[in-house]
Amino acid sequence: METLASMLNRQQQLINYERMMLEGEESLEDVGGMSSEILQFSDKDFRFLYLNSEGRKWFGVDPEKLSAIKNGSLDAFFHPDTLEYELPKLKRYYKVGNSDKIYSNYQQLYHSRNQCYTICMVLTKKIRKGFLSFIFPLEKMMGNSAKIKRIIREEIFKRNHKRQYESLTSREMEVLRLLATGVNNPCIAEELFISRRTVEEHRKNINRKLEIRSLRDILEYAYAFDLV
């Protein structure tokens, strides 16, 4: 796993890269070639303006395609949850944040080789009229640490679904907790001193509010919100 010292070194790298570019020592392409990590430069709306070779390989974008996506949709690269919850935070950081501050957050980005979204830590610095960012896929940072990956996924799920979860009533939260522990409707009714029909109504409300489709969805909420 990345140590704190290592991450601080990466933050300093971003600062150094910015200085080189602003002072005219190196071009963006030269700076990108120095980095063995994914380096991204984007505008204030987070549309890609530049990816170094590592980034192009990871996203599956050749130089010709990169020029075509500068004004394209972000949907091809960012998970919908990241677009809804994380990018607005970055835009606020761009608008009001200290230009010397390095902003870090987790984003779900599309990995072309694996053909799935992958959780990444992203270090971002406001620079010129956009962002300069290091992207670190968790698989690379953490190796085979499945427990740490699970904890971070749960934290991201909690952050992304907090609004839906808080729409539940306290009784619906109780029902959700019992469902996650494998208790059936009759036993829930008995434990909560309510009728089975009332339990069924609570379950319908829970399914609607949380968009529950399976037991897996129930367990995701239960683990993320410490119900079990």
For 91-106, the pLDDT digits (tens) are 888 887 666 788 888 8
Give the tens place of pLDDT for each residue, 119-147.
888 899 888 778 899 998 876 655 545 66
Question: Is residue 168 pLDDT above 80, yes or no?
Answer: yes
Domains recognised in the chain with CATH numbers: 4-142 (3.30.450.20), 146-224 (3.40.50.2300)
pLDDT value for 1: 45
Q: Minimum mean pLDDT among 48-57, 66-75, 183-192: which range?
A: 66-75
Residue with tokens 């909420």: 221
Q: Is the pLDDT of residue 10 over 70?
A: yes
